[in-house]
A and B are shown apart, each in its own frame.
Chain A
Amino acid sequence: DIQMTQSPSSLSASVGDRVTITCRARQSIGNFLHWYQQRPGKAPKLLIYAASSLQSGVPSRFSGSGSGTDFTLTIRSLQPEDFASYYCQQSRYIPYTFGQGTKLEIK
C-alpha cells in the first residue's frame, strides 16, 4: 500500500494567514493526488484534483502543487470557513489511500 504522510497533523493560524500543508507519498504517484476539506459533521469536499487543478466552485485562495512524492496545499488569506480538517488522497494505486489528516484550528 502507498502510505501518505501529511504534516503537520494540526495547525493553529489566524484569519488572513497563509498556510501550507504537505503530503508525502512513500513512492511516486505522478500527479494522482487530491485534496479534500472536511468541516465538522460534514462530508469531505474535493478542493484540488490531479495535484494542482482547482475543483469547480472552490475559491482561488486554495492551490496545490507537487508531483511524484511531494505535494503541498496552500491556503492564501485564511477565512473563518477554512478552519476544518484537510486530507490528501492518492489514486495512482489500489488501494486508494488517504493521509492521516491535518486539523486547521483558529489561533
Chain B
Amino acid sequence: EVQLVESGGGLVKPGGSLRLSCAASGFTFIRYTMSWVRQAPGKGLEWVSSMSSSGSDIYYADSVKGRFSISRDNAKNSLFLQMNSLRAEDTALYYCAREGAVDNGMDVWGQGTTVTVSS
C-alpha cells in the first residue's frame, strides 16, 4: 500500500524549533519529488516547500524561506522539514505529499502532523 506517515509535530514556543518527518512506503521513493503543504485551523491549503527526487532542486514559500529547511534520506525513504524561528502563524496541520510529475499534481498525501506555536 502506498503510504505517507508524518510525525514530529507538537506544541512549541515562539522562536522555537521542530523537525517534522515523513516516512514513505509502498513506492519507489527516490523517483518522486516530495512536498510539504500546510493548513492553518479552519483555513485553506498552503504550499510550503518541495524537493526534487535527487535533492538537487529545492523550493520554499516566501513565508518560510530562511527559517525552514527541507531534506530527504532516499536510503531511508524519508522526508524531513526542519522548522526554526517558529511563529504563531506557522500553527497548522502539516501534510507530506508526493508529486507524480510537475503536471500530475500531488497524488499521495499523509494524514498530517499538527504544529502549534504558542507561549
Q: Which residues of A contact B (CB under 8 A)?
A: 1, 31-32, 34, 36, 38, 43-46, 48-50, 55, 87, 89, 91, 94-101
Q: Other than the known A36-B105, A98-B45, A98-B47, what 7 A-B pairs have Cβ atoms closer than 8 Å?
A: A32-B103, A34-B105, A43-B110, A49-B100, A87-B44, A91-B105, A99-B44
Check B61–A95 contact: CB distance below 8 A: yes
Q: Once the chains are docked, how many angstroms separate the CA of A97 from the CA of B59?
A: 13
Assembly CA distance A38 to B61 (angstroms): 22
Leading 7 A-B pairs by shortest Cβ distance = A34-B105, A49-B105, A96-B47, A43-B109, A98-B45, A101-B44, A94-B59
A-B contact pairs, 29 of them (CB 8 A): A31-B103, A34-B104, A34-B105, A34-B106, A36-B45, A38-B45, A43-B110, A44-B95, A44-B106, A44-B109, A46-B105, A49-B103, A49-B104, A49-B107, A55-B105, A55-B107, A87-B44, A87-B45, A89-B45, A91-B102, A94-B59, A95-B62, A96-B35, A96-B47, A97-B47, A98-B45, A100-B44, A101-B44, A101-B45
